Amino acid sequence: MKIAIIGAGAAGCFAAANIPYKDGVEIAVFEKTGKALQKVKASGGGRCNVTHESTNIQELVACYPRGKQLLKKSLYQFPPKQTIEWFESRGVKLKTEPDGRMFPVSDNSQSVIDCLWHEMMHNKVQVYYHKAVESIVKSPKLGWELNFSDGTSYLADRVLIATGGFPRLEQYQWLNALGHTLQPPVPSLFTFNMPKHPITELMGVSVPDVSVKIAGTKITANGPLLITHWGMSGPAILKTSAIAARELANRNYDFQVVISWLKDVTDEDLKEIIVHLRKEQGKQMVHHKNPFELPKRLWEYLLHQCGIYEDTRWGELPATAQNKLTEHLLRDLYAVKGKTTYKEEFVTCGGITLSEINPQTMESRIVPGLYFAGEILDVDGITGGYNFQHAWSSGWIAARQITNP
Query: For residue 207, is pLDDT > 60?
Result: yes
What sign for the dihedral angle of Cα 338, 44, 393, 400?
A: positive
Report pTM.
0.91
pLDDT score at 289: 81
Q: What is the pLDDT of residues 47-73, one digit of tens each?
A: 999 999 999 999 999 999 999 999 999
Average pLDDT value over all residues in the chain: 95
User: In whole angstroms, what is the distance from residue 380 CA to residue 389 CA?
Assistant: 10
69-112: pLDDT as tens digits: 999 999 999 999 999 999 999 999 999 999 999 999 999 999 99
**Rg of the chain (C-alpha set):** 25
Domain boundaries, the chain: 2-186+349-401, 190-341
pLDDT in tens, 320-354: 999 999 999 999 999 999 999 865 556 889 999 99
The torsion of the CA quartet 152, 158, 162, 166, rounded to 10 degrees, works out to: 60
Helix axis angle, 386-401 to 68-77, nearest 10°: 70
How many residues are there in the chain? 405
Share of the chain above pLDDT 90, in %: 89
Hey, which CATH number is domain 2-186+349-401, 1.10.1760.20, 3.40.50.720, 3.50.50.60, 1.20.140.10?
3.50.50.60
pLDDT class for 140, splitting at 50, 70, 90? confident
* Cα gap 74→166, rounded to integer Å: 22
Domain range 190-341, CATH class: mainly alpha
Q: Where do the DSSP E strands lie in 120-233?
A: 126-128, 133-139, 143-148, 153-156, 158-161, 182-188, 190-193, 206-214, 220-227, 231-233
pLDDT, one tens digit per residue, over 260-303 is 999 989 999 999 999 999 999 899 999 988 889 999 999 999 99
Identity of the residue numbered 125: V
For residue 47, the model assigns a pLDDT of 96
- Outline where DSSP puts E strands in 7-70: 26-30, 51-52
pLDDT at 344: 57
d(CA 203, CA 200): 5
| Distance from C-alpha of 71 to C-alpha of 29, rounded to nearest angstrom | 25
Above 80 in pLDDT, residue 252?
yes
pLDDT of residue 21: 87
